[in-house]
Amino acid sequence: MQDTTTKTATTDTSIQRLERVFQLQKQAFLKNPYPSAQERIELMGRVPGMLKKYRQEILEALDQDFCGHSREQGDLLEIIGMFDRAKYNMDNVKKWMKPTSKSGNPITLGSAKVYLKYHPKGVIGNMVSWNFPFDIAIGPMLDQLGAGNRVIIKPSDLAPACGAVLEKMIAETFDEDQVAVVNGGIELAKFFPTLPWDHLIYTGSGKIGRLIMKAAAENLVPVTLELGGKSPVILDKDSVNEETFAEIAGIKAIKRGQMCVTADYCMVHESQLNAFRDGIVQYFKEHFTKDNGASYCCGIISNRHISRLESLLEEARKAGVEVIQIGSDLKEGERNMPFYIVVNPPSDIELMQDEIFGPILPIVTYKSTQDIIDFVNRGDSPLGLYVYSKDQNFIDQITGKIPSGGVSVNFMAFQASQPSLPFGGVGGSGMGVHHGIEGFREFSNPRGFFVKGKGGTLNSILPPYGKDTTHLINEVAYASLGKQLKFALQTLPKNLMARMFK
């Protein structure tokens, strides 16, 4: 009874704090709804120093939450990548903020100005996935600050140590009415999308994403959903080689497969199945057998996730599928699950239906290019589409006929790390993007401006209507092309003069 009461009190405190900070940021935004470029640059410029200062605490928190986490992966994937994103946004935000002139008819509008200007949306909520607890919190935040918004971040309760460090360093670096972190459990997660956000971003599973979108719809909140999916690696017959083995295994080893843009499964020509299977297995055995690759990877996030992955493997074994284990069985208290290669599993088992999100790599064979296209397109559009080939026609066929969030050719996953490229899904893999100018626009309101000038025929279209209106309708709009040209030649010079001397 005491434990339940304490848990409820903690949850209530988190929800109450979220409501308080939400109102605080709403009020602060209304006082400064269009921060200057310099204000935005200054805020984004705090991020690299913050991450450098908290580097050790970040790495220790990752190690604690994942029951072992490579320090190199922590540095590369959670910290250093943010340096480039911050710099790219800071270098370009002034340009992105400039009004964009739009075309207008000088005959009817005279010297009027028509333009688009991106304005901040307001207060944005970010529901962060556990697999990249710092990258997914801070990366979108840089876009959101660049767009002039206020931000509230909700870390995943599956990574509590990371959430605590994130809350601490954000509180030290930013005023609460600008950026805040609110930690909490399942009740906070359910409550978070019910607030009337000006925009909400969620990274995680498609199942939860649907619930988030449904809750946000009650307040007509626009959403960005990064949902992952089954990203295929498609190998042409000319690309089954040592270099490809190394790249696929290396990418799969990042976060031990717990990455939304990792290789979910590989497709190889049926004539090369044995060569690919033997080559990829040998590479994994050489590099990831000792301690199940613990020094290069991280642990599975929880025992529940280990059980889920093991059930996928058990279903495959019961279906008579070849399952190859690389590494030793898990020891009590550890989460360094071994890697597995699964050869030609049937498409109707769960392993091939849902995103794997772990150290399991199925191999599927094909006979023709059309087989590949049909197989991938039977499922949801993937977040990443990876093609290995030296044949441009093969590459064009695959990338042109299979929709996906992003594409990488002769490498994998790095389309998601480029500050200048939009990152996001399509269909079942999500909606909306972040990174770069597309991220700036995602979290902005594109406001259309019309400013009346001199000249034009605007007054003729307003009641009370008179002979000028009748002339405009009958002798211009419905007239022959010759009459329309005559009208244009009569009115255009004075309207152009009005533009020149406005």
Residues acting as catalytic residues: 226, 260
Q: Of 232, 250, 234, give the one whose Cα is nearest residue 242.
A: 250
Give me the helices (H) in 147-258, please.
160-173, 186-191, 206-217, 242-253
Phi and psi dihedrals of 439, rounded to 5? -65, -40
Calpha distance 267→270 (Å, rounded): 9
> How many residues make up the chain in this entry?
502
User: Mapping DSSP to helix (H, G, I), strand (E, B) and coil, where does residue 245 land?
Assistant: helix
In angstroms, the CA 233 to CA 366 distance is: 12
- The alpha-helical segments, DSSP class H, found in 443-480 are 467-472
User: Rounded to an integer, what distance in angstroms lies between the CA atom of residue 146 and that of residue 37?
Assistant: 8
How far CA 360 is from CA of 244, 251, 351, in Å, comes to: 17, 12, 9
| Helices 273-288, 242-253: crossing angle, 10 deg rounding | 50
CB burial class (10 A; 0-12, 13-18, 19+) of residue 240? buried
Query: What totals of helices (H) and strands (E) does the chain contain, helices first?
Result: 18, 16
- Of the candidates 419, 380, 376, 22, the one whose C-alpha atom is nearest the C-alpha of residue 198 is 22
Angle ∠(298,302,306) on CA atoms, nearest 5 = 90
What 3-state DSSP class applies to 475? helix
CA-nearest of 445, 448, 441 to 89 is 441
Any bridge partners for residue 78, and if so which? none
Q: Provide DSSP, 108-172.
A: HHTT-EEEEEEEE--EEEEE--SSSTTHHHHHHHHHHHHTT-EEEEE--TTSHHHHHHHHHHHHH
Q: Return the number of other C-beta atoms located less than 10 Å from residue 480's C-beta.
A: 9
Please give the torsion angle defined by the CA atoms of residues 356, 362, 367 and 368, in that order, rounded to the nearest 10 degrees: 40
What distance in Å separates the CA atoms of residue 331 and residue 310, rounded to the nearest whole number?
A: 14
Cα–Cα dist 48/139, whole Å: 11
Element (H, E) at 366: strand 360-366
The distance in angstroms from the start CA to the end CA of the chain is 76
